[in-house]
Amino acid sequence: MSITKASRGRIRRALPRKLAGGWERAVFTAPERPGEARDERVLIGPGPLAEEPTETAEKALQTALTELLDAAEAAAEDGLVKQTIVLDERRRLLFDARHGHIKLKTLDPETSLKVMGGKERLFRPDTSAPFLRAIGIMNADGTISTRHARKYKQVSHLAELCRPTWERVGKRRPLSPEAPLRILDLACGNAYLSFVIAEALRLAGVPLRLHGVDVREDLITRARERTAQIGLEGVSFARATIADAYGEALAEDALAGRPDIVLALHACDTATDEALELAIRYGAPAILCVPCCQQELSTQLAATDVPAPIPALHSHGLLRGAYADALTDSIRCELLAACGYQVDVVEFVGSEHTAKNMLIRAHRRHRGAVDPSRWRLAPVVDACARLGVDPSLLRRLQRPSL
């Protein structure tokens, strides 16, 4: 798609005047088409410039302008005609390279509401832009495309479901910069839940120390990069196993204290049980857990001689898998309750989007030291024997200690 001579002239005449104060980045995209991936190029700008720039700064600006104009024309030739220059978090220059008419758009409350789909959200584009860009919801030009709109709604909903947990912890003890809310994220992976909660707490003005651990170095590196991109304070990540996570959390550069909330988002199979055991044994006041793939009980049910309540639950793999998933999480909830936690289960994403959509929220009922002799595991042991299963979390909790 070629850019016309008239359009090229308009852009080259107008942009230098409008960019005299500098800009953050230029974003070149193709017109959005439903169902197609977004084709996007980003060119980083010089940033804001001083009101009275030096001669060196002026030369740098002219070089950046030349690079920008050349990049805009090259992008247009490749079909990336929708072009945006981000001046700062609230102001953007928008133009279509096919005609070259430039408009200044300001992210005021009315514009923000349109970006949010006409409904107020916790994570607004004018207050949470770095966060929304870092987790892949907001595009570099400040828009939220149709294919990301559903995810945008989901993260706001997930944060609201977690809100009662941190508010309840805040009622147990005063929170302050000297004694912040402490959160430990086990098997954090991409740290998706960590960032959602950290941003929600930032908006709420709640002091935070959050530490995430995972065994994969690449994921930890990516989490640290996102932390810097968002500009979050008090958030750290380190490579460690779940078994070593509690000692890791006590370090001065991590939580520097016992965690108030333990997170476990999509820790695969029995890794969720490992995370729950650690939280229970160290008396975490609150737990937020989203289970992931679960194979252990499905394998046990296929091999057991204990009859199923209905034979088809064991004999058909698809039914056995669904049964095992529900049974695994039901036993986890029973064990949490047996160890002194108040438990509730909520859906945070519609089942039409993902089957792994269940959030387990648990709050410890007692404030004293953990006393395993008070755990009421016997009824769960009996129930599991009748069902012919031996779940990982139960075995772990029956051990003398970690």
pLDDT at 346: 93
Confidence of residue 1 (pLDDT cuts 50, 70, 90): low
Say how many C-beta atoms besides its own lie within 10 A of residue 344's C-beta: 11
Judge whether residue 168 has pLDDT over 70: yes
**Residues 122-141: pLDDT tens digits?**
898 888 999 999 998 988 88
pLDDT at 266: 80
Q: What is the mean pLDDT of residues 226-253?
A: 91
Q: What is the mean pLDDT of residues 352-359?
A: 64
Is 78 in a helix, a strand, or coil? coil
The class (CATH top level) of 151-397 is: alpha beta
* Domain residue limits, the chain: 5-106, 151-397
Q: Tell the burial category of 34 from Cβ atoms under 10 Å away from its Cβ (0-12, 13-18, 19+).
A: exposed
Is 168 in a helix, a strand, or coil? helix
Residue with tokens 């309750």: 337
Confidence of residue 206 (pLDDT cuts 50, 70, 90): very high
Q: What is the mean pLDDT of the chain?
A: 88
The Cα 336–Cα 98 span in angstroms is 61
Judge whether residue 362 has pLDDT over 50: yes
Whether 45 and 157 have beta carbons less than 8 Å apart is answered as no
The Cα 388–Cα 391 span in angstroms is 10
The Cα 103–Cα 88 span in angstroms is 15
Q: What is the mean pLDDT of residues 203-207?
A: 94
pLDDT at 353: 44
What global pTM score does this model have? 0.86
Is 284 in a helix, a strand, or coil? coil
> pLDDT higher for 354 or 314?
314
**Residues 251-270: pLDDT tens digits?**
888 898 899 999 998 888 78
Residue with tokens 């584009």: 125
Judge whether residue 351 has pLDDT over 60: no
Is 52 in a helix, a strand, or coil? coil
**Residues 43-67: pLDDT tens digits?**
999 888 777 767 787 888 888 888 9
